[in-house]
Amino acid sequence: MLSFFKDYKGFAIVFAIISIIIIAIIYNTLNVYKPLTIYQPANFEPKLVDSTKQHVKKYHKIADFSLLNQNGDTISQKNYTNKIYVADFFFTTCQSICPIMTDNMVRIQNEILNDNDIMLLSHTVTPEIDSVEQLKRYAKLKGVIDSKWNLATGDREQIYNLARKSYLVVEDDPQNKYGMIHTENFALIDKEKRIRGIYNGISSTAIDSLLKDIEHLKKEYNK
């Protein structure tokens, strides 16, 4: 019996080493970091993308903008430099999906309150109604924290183009080129101003996924 173990001792050692290597490879494969998708216009349904952008397969980024926030301050991409942010489109007098969307944005705000890397941006789709003063009242009502979340108003055409050509979150209306945008979609934007996720802003499950993806995206910058 002892001679048997002596004869196979070398084999056992080699087998053990190979087994450890295989287990390590499997473990690393299962735990490898997989970055979030970088979305391009070509990844979306054509109805969500302006015809001038539908062919774009790489290098898509959110365009710069110049809008006014709830405090009357001009905001642009400079306010989101080196930030991950969540963007949506709403209006203060909406009685259907917007209250749910806003509540979910408040939920996100509360989760990221102490995280300097994350911000929020909500664009009104009725800028003629949602003046700076109206947005300020709404911000106070909803508990918006100015340092974390901008409610933006401004030129209707600019806002519409952001929705259709940059964030890719709303269907085109050929009958009303710059008509009211109404979309429940939230967009997750990375520090390079690229789309990394689209979420249903009225679904609590989708918001759960969004919050997880924010943490996942942060790992990308911490690696």
Of 202, 199, 207, nearest in space to 37 by CA: 199
**Which residues belong to the annotated binding site?**
94, 98, 182
Q: Which DSSP category does 101 fall into?
A: H
Gyration radius from the chain CA atoms: 24
Integer Cα distance of 128 and 156 in angstroms: 8
State the Cα torsion 207-210-211-216 to the nearest 10°.
Answer: 160
Please enumerate in sequence order all residues whose Cβ is within 8 A of that of 144, keeping only pairs 6 or more positions apart, or say none: 70, 106, 109, 138, 151
Strands of 96-166 (E only): list them: 118-124, 149-152
**Which residues belong to the annotated binding site for Cu cation?**
94, 98, 182
